[in-house]
Amino acid sequence: MFGRERIELKTPEQVLAMRRAGLLTHAALESVRAALRPGVSLRELDAIGAEVIRAGGGTSNFLGYHGYPATLCISVNEVVVHGIPGEQVLAEGDVVSVDGGAVVDGWHGDSAFTAIVGEPADPGDVELVETTRRALWAGIAALDARGRVGDVGAAVEDAVGDRLGIVDGYTGHGIGTAMHMAPEVLNHRVRERGPRVRPGMCLAIEPMCTRGGVETDVLADEWTVVTSDGSRAAHWEHTVAVLDEGLWVLTAPDGGAAELAAFGVQVPEG
């Protein structure tokens, strides 16, 4: 998608500015997570996220993006990504992915999580959500070795294993002065390992997995992406900065310290 476009490298000061967008993105998503319950409409959830971004002095990078009509993407069950929040109400056991981003002083954040509403319908849904989350952190941790951007996809693929499908045709991306920038960050292993991982790179890493196949369709609204086989899907995403001193997960309040420790990766202090 981005071909050989140049990669925007950030100064430490610019990464600090991106941290503010990252924390506001996190706050918006957390407020939505806290509001998830049977009976709540996706439109109400979108309004909650929008209000947090507004009150925090940010703007939504999704709203108006190629005409996108909402602040968040809320994708339920067989919807993988880009679900438009409307009058649908959540039910017990729904698998719901919430994706959002804030812009603060021109710098972008982008993050997503998947949660199950109330009691899981079956253990396979829990495995779907947890394995996809684990794959996100494995992909982030892979940046610490300062190899190639393609190492992320290899780590994601290994962490997903063969019990889930990795959605075809959707990727992570560079992020900074725009939401979607070079380089593309694949969620699977390829021979061409891509650009070198360098300090100043900021990447949005976002594995999308299904309980079935890897194929998807886009609905007539031209946004909603569903699995072709109707299987349920999960989507997790963080915005990550590569610094001289180490990795900093800008959309995680602790910078990723707790999750990355499990991979033997230390996050710099302060």
Residues that bind Co ion (CB under 5 A): 110, 204
Contacts of 222 (CB under 8 A, 6+ apart): none
- Say which entry of ligand MF3, Co ion, none residue 21 contacts (CB below 5 to 8 A, set by partner kind): none
Could you tell me if 205 and 134 are in contact, meaning their C-beta atoms sit under 8 angstroms apart? Answer: no
- Residue 267 class from Cβ within 10 Å (0-12 exposed, 13-18 middle, 19+ buried)? buried
Measured over the CA atoms of residue 210, residue 238, residue 43 and residue 61, the dihedral's sign is negative
Site string for ligand MF3, 57-86 (x = CB under 6 A): -----x--xx-x----x--------x----
> Minimum CB separation from ligand MF3 for residue 70, in Å?
8
Closest distance to ligand MF3 from the beta carbon of 99 (Å): 5
Q: Rule CB under 6 A: is residue 110 a binding residue for ligand MF3?
A: yes
Q: Which is closer to ligand MF3, CB of 173 or CB of 246?
A: 173
User: How many residues of this chain bind ligand MF3 (CB under 6 A)?
Assistant: 12
By rule CB under 6 A, what string of x and - marks binding of each residue 172-211 to ligand MF3? Answer: --------------------------------x-x-----
Nearest CB to ligand MF3, comparing residues 49 and 101: 101
The span from the CA of 250 to the CA of 240, in Å, is 6
Tell me the per-residue interface mask from 214 to 243 with ligand MF3, x by CB under 6 A, - otherwise: -----------------------x------
Beta bridge partners of 100: 111
Handedness of CA 122, 136, 35, 228 (dihedral sign): negative
Question: With left for phi above 0 and alpha for psi between -120 and 50, is residue 37 left, alpha or beta?
Answer: beta
For ligand MF3, the closer of residues 100 and 150 by Cβ is 100
Q: Which two tokens stand for residue 1?
A: 């998608």
Dist. CA 260–CA 34, nearest whole Å = 24
Closest among 207, 204, 185 to 101, alpha carbons compared: 204
Between 179 and 197, name the residue whose CB sits nearer to Co ion. 179
Enter the tokens of residue 165.
Answer: 């499908």
| Shortest spacing between CB 80 and ligand MF3, in angstroms | 11
The contact set with ligand MF3 (CB under 6 A) reads 62, 65-66, 68, 73, 82, 99, 101, 110, 204, 206, 237
